Amino acid sequence: MALGAALTIILNLTLLAAPLATEAEEPTTARIGMLSLASPESMRDLLGAFRQGMRELGYEEGQNLTIEVRYAVGKADRLAALAAELVDLKVAVIVVGSSQAVSAAQRTTTVVPIVAAGGDLLGIGAVKSLARPGGNITGLSNLTTDFIPKLPELLLAGVPTLSRVAVLWNPSHTNPTVLKNLQRATRQVSGNAFLMEAQTPSEIESAFARAVEQRLEAVIVSPDGFFLQQAKQIAGLTVKHRLPCMSPYREITANGGLMSYGRNVPKSFRRAATYVDKILRGAKPGELAIEQPTTLDLVVNVKTAKALGLAIPPAVLARADEIIQ
């Protein structure tokens, strides 16, 4: 066989083999960890929002994306061990949604990028600044300090007769500055601010029982990932004890609370996907500016208002972004 003919055969065989090799290659799969203080049930919508955000960016579970979720189910002391599990799985990024989860993940690793879908990142000292966070954390942060005074203000606008208002807070985690500002703002508009401590579901139950004994007239829930996790419980207790409730979480209002004013939490989880995508493409988390919500939603549950015999003023209803009938 002539040398030229032999070379031609080898070349043709190489060209035929190339597509087979390409077809045999499996797409790179991004393994993402999610660390949650909540339960699978209460995280369903938030995880769904994150998945939607990833799909919009070209990621599909089972093809090029794997999401490993670890739930603390309201037990903050489990977060560190769960974060360590995710690190051992060699996830590319850890997504978190509360200040407690941020702190636990940060204590566990300074190498794996952490993307926050919420939490008071500046307040807990997790980042150096919003513009240049430094380290391995970025994402979205709450406007906790800025919107806190609005909670009692809007509650009293909705129910002007209130004078004995309770503030539900978590002594194991609530930012002292946030609590101080909330107390001050509540006193300014109602004259009183009675503190109710709770860091477990049973303590929430006891706190509401004490509120009834002390003849308190309403409850303001301070921003805390644990209280978001317990949204259904808190809403149920406000209905049971006929206590109007104002919180930062729509989830509490949707389940029977009177009013809420705060960020759209599912939207934050969906937006967190853009940070994950940038990091997967090579961006350094410490160089990605942290976002804060540009809008906060006022939600009013008029069904609850009617059940409590309250008439929410038209001006408050006109201002609401959502009215639950």
Which range marks the domain in which residue 38 is found?
30-142+264-287
CATH number, position 56: 3.40.50.2300
Q: Quick check: helix, strand or coil at residue 195?
A: strand
Same domain, 138 and 149: no
Same domain, 197 and 133: no
Q: Is this structure's pTM higher than 0.85?
A: no
User: How long is the chain?
Assistant: 325
- pLDDT tens per residue across span 295-317: 899 999 999 999 999 999 999 99
% of the chain exceeding 90 in pLDDT: 76
Specify if 205 maps to a domain.
yes
Same domain, 233 and 159: yes
In the prediction, which pLDDT does 15 show?
45
State how many domains the chain has: 2
Same domain, 56 and 128: yes
pLDDT range class, residue 90, cuts 50, 70, 90: very high
Same domain, 172 and 101: no
Same domain, 181 and 307: yes
Specify if 40 maps to a domain.
yes
pLDDT range class, residue 2, cuts 50, 70, 90: low
Same domain, 244 and 152: yes
Q: Determine the Cα–Cα distance for residues 176 and 126; give it in Å rounded to an integer.
A: 16
With beta carbons less than 8 A apart as the criterion, state whether 64 and 22 touch: no
In the prediction, which pLDDT does 122 show?
85
Same domain, 112 and 215: no
Residue 93 has φ and ψ, to the nearest 5°, of -150, 150
pLDDT range class, residue 22, cuts 50, 70, 90: very low
The secondary element (H helix, E strand) that includes residue 229 is: helix 225-229
Q: Determine the Cα–Cα distance for residues 46 and 249; give it in Å rounded to an integer.
A: 13
